[in-house]
Amino acid sequence: MRWARIAGIDFKINGVFLLLCLIYTLLGLGQEVLLITTAVLLHEVAHTMVAVNMGVRISEVELLPFGGQARVEDFTGLEPEKEIYVALAGPLISLSMAAVCFFLLSDRGPLTGLFINLNLFLGCFNLLPALPLDGGRVARAVLSRRLGYRKATLATSLIGKLTAVLAAGSGVYLTYSSMSGANLIIVGILLYWAASREKSLLAFAFMRFLVNKKSQLTRHGYMECQQMVAAPDTLVKKILDSSRPSYYLTVLIIGPDESVIGIRSEAELIECLLEKGPAACIKDC
């Protein structure tokens, strides 16, 4: 649900998060809900401010109990350092807020203590190397240079699912032993859903990654090249799986007699895959 629009960016609140806020308010915990929302909003505003300052366009931000998710219009896979800076902004501001309140406020009441703990949780939890958490985006940016964007996304989204299962399992145990783990169960469920959504959007994101690389080549006029050799029946998507943010692919096509029968650029492979679908082979280009 959209509740605000700031500087052209839609701020939305996840339905489950909104329901939790309403339940806690009805239970007389309105101040706690306000602190949680404030901590999460500050976390996401930090991401947004750094992204805007770096020229990364964001269309919307959705608030979740463990932080939030920003929909980025400019794909950052081509410039992994941008994704790292934007991702780290949220945990850094959360940890900074916790430190400021802890060291500068001498008279700390229960609500101040809660605000400190909330920011510590948001900062530390989001540094885990699991998508869609901020640490997962940092890990993907680092791994994409070695594994490629597709494989890096699959690896970090899998870690995200495992983290979600551990969180929900811990919540079930705490609920059974001390009736205090309901929040962890909800966080685990939402985290698993968000990690699954990252994986389901992978095909679209990867295609956008390749198309943006083509536009970067057009804009700058040069890029480091990596050459590959392939048979005519090789799937185009298998070749593009080897794509990296830091270089441009060219494919040397070899016939049955090992003679060179053609050369295709990464742009031509992208256009072929866009036009003919995932079953396209090199010979179809």
Tell me: the pLDDT tens digits for 46-64?
988 888 888 877 777 778 7
Q: Which of 32, 44, 83, 266 does the annotation list as catalytic?
A: 44
- On the question of pLDDT at 196 being above 70, the answer is yes
The whole-model pTM stands at: 0.76
Provide the 3-class DSSP secondary structure of residue 5: strand
* pLDDT tops 70 at residue 78: no
Q: For residues 34 and 76, which has the higher predicted lDDT (pLDDT)?
A: 34
Q: What is the pLDDT of residue 28?
A: 82
pLDDT in tens, 149-179: 778 888 999 999 999 999 999 989 888 888 7
116 pLDDT band (50/70/90 cuts)? very high
Evaluate whether 189 touches 20 at the Cβ level (below 8 Å): no
Q: Is 48 helix (H, G, I), strand (E, B) or coil?
A: helix
Phi, psi (5° rounding) for residue 5? -135, 115
Q: What is residue 1's predicted lDDT score, i.e. its pLDDT?
A: 67
The token duo for 135 is: 């640490």
Residues 126 and 91: beta-carbon distance below 8 Å: yes
Q: What is the pLDDT of residue 23?
A: 82
Output the pLDDT for position 77.
60
User: Which one of 5-9, 12-16, 135-139 scores highest in mean pLDDT?
Assistant: 135-139
Q: Following DSSP, what letter does each residue of 134-185 receive, concatenated? A: HHHHHHHHHHHHHH-HHHHHHHHHHHHHHHHHHHHHHHHHHHHHHS--HHHH
pLDDT average, residue stretch 113-135: 92
Higher pLDDT, 169 or 18: 169
What pLDDT does 22 receive?
Answer: 85
pLDDT for the residue 136: 93
Euclidean distance between CA atoms 136 and 148, whole angstroms: 15
Whether 211 has a pLDDT exceeding 80, the answer reads no
Q: What is the pLDDT of residue 215?
A: 74
Q: Is the pLDDT of residue 182 over 60?
A: yes
- State residue 75's pLDDT score: 56
Work out the average pLDDT over 228-234.
91
In the residue annotation, 73 being an active-site residue is answered as: no
pLDDT score for 61? 79
Whole-number pLDDT of residue 145: 77
Q: Alpha-carbon dihedral of residues 88, 94, 95, 99, nearest 10 degrees?
A: 150
Q: What is the pLDDT of residue 206?
A: 66
